[in-house]
Structure 1
Amino acid sequence: MGVLSKLTGAVALTTMLASDVKAQAAGTCSGVTGRFEPKLGEGYTYSVLATGLTSPRHIVIDSEGNLLVAEAGTQSVTRLVLEDQEDIVCVASSNEVASGSTNHGIALSGDGKTLFTSNLASVTAYTYDATTGSVDAGTQIVKGMSFQGTHPTRAIATSQWSPDTILVARGSGANVDNTTVDQAAARSIIKTFSISEGLQAAHDYAEGGEVLAWGLRNIVGLTEDPVFGGIWSVENQMDDIHLNGVDIHTNNPAERLSYHGILNATDNPQKGRNFGYPSCVPAWDPSSITSLPNLSVGDLFHPDDVPDPSDIGACDDTTARATGRLHFPAHTAPLDVKFTADGTAAYIAFHGSWDRSPADGYRVMRVDFNAEDGQPVEAADSTTAQVPVLENGDVGDCPNNCFRPVGLAFDAKGRLFVSSDTSGEIYVIYGA
């Protein structure tokens, strides 16, 4: 069934009246009704592009300006052909592009001619025609990722700076996955693979590729800075942690944004670094970790019931263990990150908490970057790096009655598309 036939109601382009006031309707796409009235950060407006999708996850814009959506509910890719209607964008038509190969991940090659999808077990490459939205039968290029554990998604990303490379992340098999103290477990890890070699014979995930980073509990979003070429990831950290028998999980550990260097650099000092999981986790609220009085935001520490860190090095040994470049509130669950074309800002989708009371997350936020070096403006121990963009009016209704951001994609006009899996919607943010 096409998306247009599933859409209902009327969509609103909104204008910001005040930072804490819900947006007001100012324009509509025929046949689309948004379920919620988000509040907006200063300078932003939004519209609802589509509803009725089945758990839309990551998204990408193709070379013709169409939106490709990975629908986890149907394991398919849906193509939304877009058209401008006055000052908003709407769906002109839709079609299914590929089926049975994705529960989350989607990416396009630099030339836009190859579509990649990922699921629990594998990564598939399709020859893709952006004009017609057609694909070939597809070729499996990475295999051997099945593991019936906690995290079934496999975030993927391609590179403009290293066009033959695809990045594939695989999360832990449990909240505390003790086997991942060893790289050979091939979980809680980001690996890179040659696309051309994979098209000849599929890479085995555990045995093939190169390790870009490990000790990362669950990477659900990966991206490349378009200006400096740096690779960045967003991570969902551990749940239900204790320290010296004290429950500190409400505000710890921090979620994090991590830097992994430039793929095609002759010497990338970030390559292959360990980020601590499962032995060491980053602090978000040091004040609640009273037994370690000298911690700062982002510092790694060793909670209860996890492996001893001494096999690699102490948690505070930064020569042995890398630390995040920015940190975010516990359990807010960042699921994607995307840069503006000029590289001066990255937008992050926070899916929202399940392991915290009161709930937190359920928003899109902006992080500002320096134009001079491609690094965040704020320091690693900042608690104010996030700038509000699109938020639920009342997170008390979450997670069952609110939008939950997942995937992000910019088009050539700088419009930011945002998927919400639980509500089956696609939002568009203007002014990003």
Structure 2
Amino acid sequence: MRSLTAQAVLAAFLLQAAVTTAQGQCSVDIKSEYPAPVVAAGYQARLIVSGLSRPRGIIFDKSGNLLVVESGNGIRQIRFSSDDKATCLAANADKTLISLRSLNHGIEISPDGKTLYASSAEDVYSWDYNAEAGTLTNQRTLVQNMSNPGHVTRTVFLSKKHPELLLVSRGSSENIDELTTNINSGISQIRAFNLSARGSSPYDYASSGTVIGWGLRNSVGIAEHPVTGNLYSVENSADQIQRLNTDIHEDNPGEELNSHGVLPLPTSTSTPPNFGYPNCLAVWSTSIPSPGSLTVGSQFSYRPPTTDAMCASDFVPPRLTFQAHTAPLDIKFDSSGGLAYISFHGSWNRDQPAGYRLSAVAFSREKGEPEAARDSRTAAMDVLVNADTSRCPGRCFRPAGLAVDGMDRVFMTSDSTGEIYVVLRMTGDGAGNGTGIDSGAAVGRGGSWGMLVGTLVVGFLGGWLFLV
């Protein structure tokens, strides 16, 4: 027993020394007011910015500055310096580009970096942007008449394959919104607007643009596969749902990853694809009344006269389904197209908190499709999670916006805590290998040497304990 105790103490000392050494390599040391998050094996993560006001959407400009929408305040520009070209970043300058309280989430930038786009609940705006001077001028309204209660964020997304197309996502007015069943309402849709064809007047959302998809309750995140151009969105599904007068809301319906094909869509007189809401919702748990042949990812009827069979035949099912109420808010691909990172903001409509994490989904680089089957329950691999979700939402981070820089570092805002994290994948082949939560990982490891030493010590300690 004395030998075991001495070995354990030595191993613990070496582990602490390894982590301390790794952390000591970085001059940035921001502490959260909640338990430090847990990082997946093969990743580094560090808290690099605090003190912001509800940071949501983020994007990099051509000069490497991070532009942040502070919901209810405006847009901030942050410039970073780096110690080690990995996660050791310090915000060495920041300024408010514009104070506009109506801005709440959406942000985008033109390919040449000279035009910035952002959105309020009512409008999409553009400005002339000078990255070096840090100025926004010549405000213009591009899209208008989007105001509705309920979901008020309006994601804006420029297609990289067709940069003349500006996509705008608009969510529902309430939990179950009857207006969504009318395509002319503009509710719960993603529409594309041709910037090169716009006249002197703003587009009216409900009466112009091309409907990319409808029946989408609240598709906040939009991304385009960098190789194939396949377009995806992540949808927040409904709350407080019953089936056959039985409460099933704890584990149903699932959140959705929806596939929208490749832009520009073919010209057609047919009705654009409908993804089911509010008549049909996705199955996450099949432990529901009368499941029949329903599997994970199938759509079930929320109300008559729609039937499960009609949901399967008349509406587009999700490509992947995620745990109910995890609230995905953003999706971004790495440069190879092998991983899609998704921010899960976290639940409110669930007895046990779920979400509150950054996850990754493995994609085929060549096909631009998820590697996981449509009925998978394990497609989303945890990357950065709260150490104790029972403390959420009060004492934890809540992921919101994502941005990926030229080094494939993932930047993530936490709106509830006013923070930004940076996450870097250190190992693997870009298709999901090496992911999975490592309970021994620590936020703030400064370099691969410290990570290696820490991993070796943990493995050595594990060996001693196994042998005894």
Greater relative contact order (CA < 8 Å, ≥ 6 in sequence): 2
- Number of residues of Structure 1 aligned to a counterpart in Structure 2: 403
What is the CA–CA distance in structure 2 between the aligned matches of 1:198 and 1:35, rounded to whole Å? 47
Which residue is equivalent to 2:229?
Answer: 229
Consecutive unaligned residues in structure 1, runs of 5 or more? 1-16
Matched residues, percent identical? 40
Q: Residue 103 of structure 2 aligns to which amino acid in structure 1?
A: T
After the TM superposition, which residues 264-343 of structure 1 pair with which residues of structure 2 at under 5 Å, given as runs?
264=264, 266=266, 272-286=272-286, 288-304=287-303, 308-309=305-306, 314-317=310-313, 320-343=314-337
Output one character per residue of 1:272-320: Cα deviation in whole Å (capped at 9) or x when no partner.
210000000010001x21312311001111124xx7438x981110xx3
- The answer as to 2:139 corresponding to 1:138 is yes
Q: Is the 8 A contact 1:260 1:270 kept in 2?
A: no
- Say which SS state the counterpart of residue 423 (structure 2) adopts: strand
Cα 1:26–1:330 shift into 2, 3 Å = farther
Which residue is equivalent to 1:192?
Answer: 192
- The answer as to 2:213 corresponding to 1:213 is yes
Which residue is equivalent to 2:107?
Answer: 106
Output one character per residue of 1:299-348: Cα deviation in whole Å (capped at 9) or x when no partner.
111124xx7438x981110xx31111111000000000000011011000
What is the CA–CA distance in structure 1 between the aligned matches of 2:66 and 2:341, rounded to whole Å? 18
From 401, 404, 413, the equivalent of 1:410 is: 404
Residue 102 of structure 1: CA displacement? 1.6
Which residue is equivalent to 2:445?
Answer: none
Q: Is the 8 A contact 2:122 2:144 kept in 1?
A: yes
Q: Is the 8 A contact 1:336 1:348 kept in 2?
A: yes
Residue 197 of structure 1: CA displacement? 3.7
Which residue is equivalent to 2:388?
Answer: 394
Q: Residue 217 of structure 2 aligns to which amino acid in structure 1?
A: R
Q: Is the 8 A contact 2:166 2:194 kept in 1?
A: yes
- Say which SS state the counterpart of residue 97 (structure 2) adopts: strand
Output one character per residue of 1:169-200: Cα deviation in whole Å (capped at 9) or x when no partner.
11010100012111011111000001234463
Which residue is equivalent to 1:12?
Answer: none
Q: Residue 116 of structure 2 aligns to which amino acid in structure 1?
A: L
Q: Is the 8 A contact 2:332 2:340 kept in 1?
A: yes
- Say which SS state the counterpart of residue 381 (structure 1) adopts: coil
What is the CA–CA distance in structure 2 between the aligned matches of 1:279 and 1:379, rounded to whole Å? 24
After the TM superposition, which residues 22-421 of structure 1 pair with which residues of structure 2 at under 5 Å, given as runs?
25-30=23-28, 32-36=30-34, 37-74=36-73, 76-86=74-84, 87=86, 88-100=88-100, 101-147=102-148, 149-198=149-198, 200-264=200-264, 266=266, 272-286=272-286, 288-304=287-303, 308-309=305-306, 314-317=310-313, 320-421=314-415
Cα 1:268–1:358 shift into 2, 3 Å = farther
Consecutive unaligned residues in structure 2, runs of 5 or more? 1-14, 427-468
Q: Is the 8 A contact 2:104 2:120 kept in 1?
A: yes
- The answer as to 2:426 corresponding to 1:427 is no
What is the CA–CA distance in structure 2 between the aligned matches of 1:176 and 1:26, rounded to whole Å? 51
| Alignment TM-score, normalising by the size of structure 1 | 0.89
Q: Is the 8 A contact 1:140 1:199 kept in 2?
A: no
Q: Is the 8 A contact 2:231 2:259 kept in 1?
A: yes
| Alignment TM-score, normalising by the size of structure 2 | 0.82
Which residue is equivalent to 2:438?
Answer: none
What is the CA–CA distance in structure 1 between the aligned matches of 2:194 and 2:267, rounded to whole Å? 18
